[in-house]
Structure 1
């Protein structure tokens, strides 16, 4: 049965037939990259449409995305935030005609990137996988899955911390003034905090990857532990957008815990690698086993053979030598002896 015309996939979205040996030419690589990029872009656009609708309406019985994102702000006491319009509703403030539209598009795009992440990550994975070996694909799959979980965990931590951080920021003035938060400022703070926490939570994954390739061994981690922990808290104090103690301490303490977990993973990996090494137990100035050691040991067991004829002399046996060939006594032709009769 022929499919309807609207179900036909465009040519630029169809995968090209690969060679039997799995190789691809440069043009085929470019076509594959373009195809996967277009699929990812289409997925983000569809996710953006869903995010825009979800921002305003309830979907599948869930609260709207706008209500979820403004929950940390609405959790503040009524005296700490400015209420305009309906006193029974929690609303942000907009000071420009197009500000609400801009904010809607910004939040919708961010939601679309998150909602479509399984699709564009799978396209990225599908483009990289053919160039990897089997064991490399296994480790890459583990690292990608772990990285996704860590990013989501960091974003959830940032969402929980935002309530305490906002309360500190809007009440630090002692009630002399009241804060009227613009929607753009609030969502910029929220998205920035989510991204910073999510990316920072990838620290243990980076440590383990560097340790796997031998760049960051556990001995270096142990020697630099205090300095690295101090650098973590300095980093947390610099990158947190609100500059409040709650988000700084939350990020610093969380990264310290993740750092210690990654350090123990690196310690176990280095210990296993050391046990499997043929140089285990040798001093720094001691030579390791040579691949020619077995050959040299075998050669040392071979005794030198006696010279030719030595065995006959040692045993006293006689050796009959061949008679020498007779020497010619005829004078050479043309000499003076030809005249003698």
Structure 2
């Protein structure tokens, strides 16, 4: 295809995604109460666990309520329509991929999507505890006034951090399939990687409590160990397919 044809195809796909998002936002406006209860639920749980009057949620400015509607419905529309716009991205780059690359993209999508969903669920489950600890740092007599738009950003960022964290083992396997990382190397640095996972979890989670950190770190460590097993299996499979027992032309045999 000529460059102009690619640009026209890109424009058509962007228009489809835009129209889909607009329709989804309009539909989400009819379910605003349910969406609000879902997003505000962790904050209410944190409030219930704290002394009365410790924290209140507000909106600021004359257009605060309108922005609340638009941001919340826009966030919901982006999540619900993710299969549509992800497919449009994938369909745009698909013609440029080789058959084996297409196969691996399907495998990646089949594995990465459930892991991302599990990360989102864990982030939502641990969010009330994180909020309770963060708000609890306020001294007695200090009321935490939390703008709901800021809380929505905090809510979104927390869930995204958990979701992306669960994708890291998938990228480790992809690096192994590309020949960049070996399973033996992962085993050599396993202890350091586990320490790095806990450090990452401590920095990425919204609160500093060990409960929330462990909720992210322990499943990540388990997924990393699974990724190491897959990498070692793939290395052995790759070596069996190589001629000369996997030796290069300049490497001496142990025999």
TM over 0.5: yes
Aligned mate of 2:87, from 122, 142, 150:
122
1:26-37 to 2 correspondence within 5 Å? 26-37=3-14
Report the counterpart of residue 249 of structure 1 in structure 2.
214
Query: What whole-Å deviation, never above 9, does each CA across 1:114-135 have from its counterpart, x for those lacking one?
Result: 1111111121121111112222
Report the counterpart of residue 80 of structure 1 in structure 2.
51
Question: Are 2:49 and 2:132, in contact at CA under 8 Å, matched by a contact in 1?
Answer: no
Aligned partner of residue 242 in structure 1, secondary structure: coil
Aligned partner of residue 92 in structure 1, secondary structure: strand
Report the counterpart of residue 129 of structure 2 in structure 1.
164
Taking the aligned partners of 1:252 and 1:78, their CA distance within structure 2 comes to 25
Taking the aligned partners of 1:82 and 1:49, their CA distance within structure 2 comes to 35
Q: CA deviation at 1:97?
A: 2.3
Report the counterpart of residue 334 of structure 1 in structure 2.
none
Question: Is the counterpart of residue 152 in structure 1 residue 122 in structure 2?
Answer: no
Q: CA deviation at 1:193?
A: 0.1
Taking the aligned partners of 1:65 and 1:204, their CA distance within structure 2 comes to 31
Report the counterpart of residue 5 of structure 1 in structure 2.
none
Aligned partner of residue 241 in structure 1, secondary structure: coil
Q: Give me the TM-score of the superposition, normalised by structure 1.
A: 0.67
- Structure 2 gap ranges (5+): none
Question: Are 1:44 and 1:116, in contact at CA under 8 Å, matched by a contact in 2?
Answer: yes
Aligned CA RMSD, in angstroms, stands at 2.5
Question: Are 2:116 and 2:163, in contact at CA under 8 Å, matched by a contact in 1?
Answer: yes
- Structure 1 gap ranges (5+): 1-23, 57-63, 85-90, 289-341
The 1:139–1:252 alpha-carbon spacing in structure 2 relative to 1, beyond 3 Å, is same
For these two proteins, the number of residue pairs brought into alignment is 252
Report the counterpart of residue 39 of structure 2 in structure 1.
69
Question: Are 1:82 and 1:180, in contact at CA under 8 Å, matched by a contact in 2?
Answer: no
Question: Is the counterpart of residue 277 in structure 1 residue 254 in structure 2?
Answer: no
Q: CA deviation at 1:83?
A: 8.9
Greater relative contact order, per chain length (Cα 8 Å cut-off, separation 6+): 2
Q: Give me the TM-score of the superposition, normalised by structure 2.
A: 0.88
Greater C-alpha Rg: 1
